[in-house]
């Protein structure tokens, strides 16, 4: 270690400058690259998925336009009445302006994917700004519309890209679902299976119409017709990002409301809850039955481990009803909407492969007695833990969402009950003739 002479003639250690400079540079570099990426991956200032309140998805295609596969993909989308978002590379857009205009004319969204598709972790701040700005200028010149969305190559931000996209007014978008694979790549049939398994409302699905791993655009184009048929069968619309990322009607304001909203969104995402219809009162998730064997009136037996459809009230929808309607009308309107939701559920039970083999549908509700008028079987909840936990949860929701607020907290735990309807009973009461299984 190098030494110097102190003020009293003693020798004191001197820290070498080169290692210190390298250490500071290393920390700065990590903050510039990995730090920005971690912030973006955590969803801070970036969008990974749309609202879960509608059965819609956003198909997004990166790295085009490609002279072979982008026109092919546009034709397939048009045949299926689907629209998407294309994150274009600026220099490729310059080389194929007619394809960019065809994307815009098809009412698809066009996003910014940088000018040359470099890895942003290897770029200086000045070069990063130039990449994003040049691509935005190309898209604006070709379409007359500045891009509203930005996605970095490989989904990797650096700090300059994170900030500069916002300065240009571009929303930073990643994805919630990828299916093409990398190592190994997914064959065309697997792309559809992966999306079907991970599908959720508001999904932003990352695909490629150009670039990517070798052969990816060809596999994606081959998989796309079956994928679009599957999404339609599952009751999903394919819309561009500007129509998927529509703010929900009721937004939380206070800290308490934001905490509740975060909790319920997390719950819905974890259990893959999805609305039965976009404008209906019920949502559904798939879950294994836990507890004793349940024997329903039509002879259907539900055994432990059987996968059933778990029904949930859509809290945001019910809350909006309380806000929009006089109290005396809420019950009537809710009953009508529940009937419509059960009719839609009967259709899903026959057409959606995920629901075709479910033996029954179940819910827990304060309104279990009233559910009998809709043809559902019901009974009181006997599990003490569920009575306590769900009772507390319902009381908190009632205090927050009901127009009478805390005045409704006289609800007791024994008011919570089970609601059941077998698949057979659902189809018999709510199925249309076209929904009935053939023999």
Exactly one of 62, 206, 316, 401 is catalytic; which is it? 62
Q: What's the confidence (pLDDT) of residue 237? A: 96
Q: What's the confidence (pLDDT) of residue 413? A: 45
Q: What is the DSSP letter of 281?
A: S
What letters, b where the CB count within 10 A reaches 16 and e where it falls short, cover 74-85? bebbeebebbbb
What are the Cα distances from residue 111, in Å, to 31, 67, 157, 240, 361?
Answer: 26, 18, 16, 10, 41
Nearest to 174 by CA among 314, 322, 62, 54: 62
Nearest to 204 by CA among 226, 166, 236: 236
Place of tokens 């079907």: 196
Q: pLDDT tens-digit profile of 155-195?
A: 999 999 999 999 999 999 999 999 987 767 889 999 999 99
Q: How far apart are CA 405 and CA 170, in angstroms?
A: 40
Q: How far apart are CA 100 and CA 102, in angstroms?
A: 5
Q: How far apart are CA 217 and CA 282, in angstroms?
A: 38
Domains in the chain: ranges and CATH: 56-244 (3.20.20.370), 255-435 (3.40.630)
By the 8 A CB rule, do 360 and 420 touch? yes
Exactly one of 37, 117, 164, 208 is catalytic; which is it? 208
Q: How far apart are CA 349 and CA 352, in angstroms?
A: 6
By the 8 A CB rule, do 206 and 198 touch? no
Q: What's the confidence (pLDDT) of residue 248? A: 63
Q: Quote the tokens at residue 332.
A: 């009537």
Q: Is the model's pTM score more than 0.85?
A: no
Residues (pLDDT < 50) of the chain are 1-3, 411-414, 438-439
Q: What's the confidence (pLDDT) of residue 267? A: 79
Q: What's the confidence (pLDDT) of residue 236? A: 95
Is 229 a known active-site residue? Answer: no
Is 208 a known active-site residue? Answer: yes
């Amino acid at each position: 270690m190098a030494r110097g002479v102190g003020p009293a003639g003693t020798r004191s250690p001197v820290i070498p400058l080169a290692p210190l400079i390298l250490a500071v540079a290393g920390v700065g570099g990590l903050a510039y690259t990995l730090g920005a990426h971690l912030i973006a991956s955590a969803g801070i200032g970036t969008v990974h998925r749309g609202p879960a309140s509608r059965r819609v998805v956003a198909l997004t295609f990166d790295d085009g336009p490609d002279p072979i596969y982008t026109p092919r993909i546009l034709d397939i989308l048009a045949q299926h009445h689907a629209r998407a978002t294309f994150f274009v590379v600026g220099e490729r857009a310059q080389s194929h302006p007619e394809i960019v205009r065809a994307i815009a004319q098809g009412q698809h969204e066009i996003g910014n994917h940088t000018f040359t598709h470099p890895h942003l972790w290897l770029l200086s701040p000045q070069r990063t700004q130039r990449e994003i700005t040049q691509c935005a200028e190309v898209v604006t010149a070709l379409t007359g519309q500045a891009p509203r969305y930005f996605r970095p190559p490989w989904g990797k931000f650096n700090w300059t890209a994170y900030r500069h996209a916002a300065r240009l007014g571009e929303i930073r978008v990643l994805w919630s679902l990828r299916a093409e694979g990398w190592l190994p790549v997914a064959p065309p049939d697997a792309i559809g299976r992966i999306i079907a398994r991970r599908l959720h409302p508001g999904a932003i699905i990352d695909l490629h119409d150009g670039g990517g791993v070798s052969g990816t655009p060809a596999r994606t184009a081959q998989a796309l017709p079956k994928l679009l048929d599957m999404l339609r069968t599952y009751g999903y619309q394919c819309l561009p990002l500007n129509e998927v990322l529509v703010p929900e009607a009721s937004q939380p304001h206070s800290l308490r409301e934001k905490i509740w909203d975060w909790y319920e969104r997390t719950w819905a995402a974890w259990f893959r809850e999805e609305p039965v219809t976009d404008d209906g009162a019920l949502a559904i998730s798939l879950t294994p039955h836990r507890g004793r064997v349940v024997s329903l009136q039509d002879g259907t037996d539900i055994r432990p481990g059987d996968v059933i459809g778990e029904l949930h009230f859509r809290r945001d929808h019910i809350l909006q009803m309380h806000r929009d309607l006089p109290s005396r009308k809420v019950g009537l309107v809710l009953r009508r909407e529940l009937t419509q939701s059960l009719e839609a559920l009967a259709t899903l039970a026959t057409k959606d492969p995920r629901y075709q083999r479910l033996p029954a549908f179940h819910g827990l509700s304060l309104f279990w007695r009233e559910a009998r008028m809709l043809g559902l079987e019901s009974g009181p909840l006997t599990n003490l833990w569920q009575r306590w936990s769900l009772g507390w949860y319902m009381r908190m929701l009632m205090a927050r969402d009901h127009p009478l607020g805390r005045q409704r907290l006289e609800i007791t735990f024994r008011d919570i009950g089970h609601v059941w309807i077998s698949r057979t009973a659902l189809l018999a009461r709510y199925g249309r003739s076209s929904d009935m299984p053939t023999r």
